[in-house]
Amino acid sequence: MAKAKAAAKKAKPNPRNKKLYDEGMKVRKAVLGAAYVDNSLAGAANDDFMMSFQDITTEYCWGYAWTRPGLSKKTRSMLNLAMLAALNRGPELKLHVNGALNNGLTKEELKPVRRKPLPRSACAPRRIGAMTRSSCGFVCPRSP
């Protein structure tokens, strides 16, 4: 019986800095789309460990890094895409192409980012994978 009650308990967000978390959630939903973010939170609702990851992602990555002054959202998106391409992070790259479009970047503005982010030392398969996945961001459905 105790196990059934424990299993039914839902994990809830528990950020350390509520202001940063709230600011981060606003930016995260604007960039990635509310449906994607809500789905991520719902997926973490049965796991305290994953919910703590959602807290950190929203509070630190989105609340601290994305709300700091100094860079436009377009520039942040371009830097993020270049890093994701260099790291060969396909699923995240595809997601953030959508986010870059939500931030106002055009397909034309994204071309240099898709062609130039990887240094010569990055191997061709990474470039091919990055190009393929980022191209899907233009043809796959976008979240609002």
For residue 142, give both structure tokens: 């976008």
Q: 72-144 falls under which CATH superfamily?
A: AhpD-like (1.20.1290.10)
Write out the H or E segment, with its range, that includes residue 141: none
> Sign of torsion, CA 142 43 48 13?
positive
* 91-101 pLDDT per residue, tens: 898 899 999 99
pTM: 0.74
Treating both helix axes as pointing N-terminal to C-terminal, what angle do 124-139 and 90-102 enclose, rounded to 10 degrees?
40
Residues of CATH 1.20.1290.10 domain(s) within the chain?
Answer: 72-144
Residues 22-73: tens digit of each pLDDT: 999 999 999 999 999 999 999 999 988 899 999 999 999 999 999 999 999 9
The token pair at 98 is 């959508």
Query: With 80 as the cut, is the pLDDT of residue 81 above it?
Result: yes
Each residue's pLDDT tens digit, 105-135? 999 998 887 765 455 545 556 666 666 767 7
